[in-house]
Amino acid sequence: MKMSYGDIKIADYTYDLPPERIAKYPLPERDKSKLLVWDGNISDHIFSELPALTDHASLMVFNNTRVIRARIIFRTASGAIIEVFCLEPHSPAEFSMNLASGGPVEWKCLVGNLKRWKSGMLESRFIHDGKEHILSAERTGTAGDAFTVRFSWNEAGLSFAGVLECLGHMPIPPYLDRDDEESDVSAYQTTYARINGSVAAPTAGLHFTPSVLAGLDAAGIPRAEVTLHVSAGTFRPVKSELICDHMMHSEHFFVSKQTLERLRSRKTTAVGTTTVRTLESLYWLGMSLYEGREFKDRIPSVSQWEPYEKEGELDPAVAIDCLLAELERSGRDTLEARTDIIIVPGYRFRMVSSMVTNFHQPHSTLLLLVAAFAGENWKKIYNHALASGYRFLSYGDSMLLAPRT
Write down the pLDDT at residue 4.
Answer: 62
- Is residue 2 predicted with pLDDT exceeding 80? no
- Is residue 1 predicted with pLDDT exceeding 50? no
Per-residue model confidence as pLDDT tens digits over 303-353: 999 999 887 789 999 999 999 999 999 999 999 999 999 999 999 999 999
* Predicted TM-score (pTM) of this structure: 0.94
Write down the pLDDT at residue 367.
Answer: 96
CA distance 97 to 395: 31
Indicate the pairing of strand 131-143 with strand 121-128: antiparallel
Higher pLDDT, 119 or 21: 21
Q: Which of the four pLDDT bands, split at 50, 70 and 90, describes residue 236?
A: confident
Per-residue model confidence as pLDDT tens digits over 146-203: 999 999 998 878 999 999 999 999 999 999 999 999 999 999 999 999 999 999 999 9
Delimiting residues of CATH 3.40.1780.10 domain(s) in the chain: 10-66+187-401
CA distance 58 to 188: 27
Strands in 11-156 per DSSP E: 34-38, 42-46, 58-63, 65-67, 71-75, 81-91, 105-112, 121-128, 131-143, 146-153
CA distance 291 to 300: 15
Per-residue model confidence as pLDDT tens digits over 249-294: 889 999 999 999 999 988 999 999 999 999 999 999 999 999 998 8
CA distance 126 to 389: 43
Tell me the fold of 10-66+187-401. QueA-like (3.40.1780)
**Tally of residues, the chain:** 405
Over its C-alpha atoms, the chain yields an Rg (Å, rounded) of 21
Write down the pLDDT at residue 234.
Answer: 76
Write down the pLDDT at residue 216.
Answer: 98
Q: List C-alpha distances in Å: 99 to 89, 157, 170, 190, 353.
A: 8, 13, 16, 20, 35
Strands in 163-266 per DSSP E: 195-198, 223-229, 251-256
Q: Quick one: CA dihedral 355, 358, 359, 360, positive or negative?
A: negative
Per-residue model confidence as pLDDT tens digits over 67-77: 999 999 999 88
Q: What is the mean pLDDT of residues 80-91?
A: 94
Per-residue model confidence as pLDDT tens digits over 94-113: 999 999 999 899 999 999 99
Write down the pLDDT at residue 143.
Answer: 85
Write down the pLDDT at residue 120.
Answer: 86
Amino acid at 13: Y
CA distance 218 to 108: 43
Element (H, E) at 283: helix 273-290
CA distance 222 to 11: 39
Q: Contact, 36 vs 201, CB < 8 A?
A: no
Q: Which of the four pLDDT bands, split at 50, 70 and 90, describes residue 237?
A: confident
Q: Which of the four pLDDT bands, split at 50, 70 and 90, describes residue 3?
A: low
DSSP conformation class of 269: E
Element (H, E) at 127: strand 121-128
CA distance 147 to 107: 8
CA distance 46 to 9: 34
Q: Contact, 231 vs 200, CB < 8 A?
A: yes
Q: Calculate the CA dihedral of residues 390, 395, 401, 402 and round it to 10 degrees.
A: -110
Write down the pLDDT at residue 341.
Answer: 96
Per-residue model confidence as pLDDT tens digits over 121-136: 999 999 888 889 999 9
CA distance 173 to 288: 35
Return mean pLDDT, the chain.
Answer: 93
Write down the pLDDT at residue 6.
Answer: 65
Nearest CA-CA partner of 201 in 191, 210, 193, 189: 189
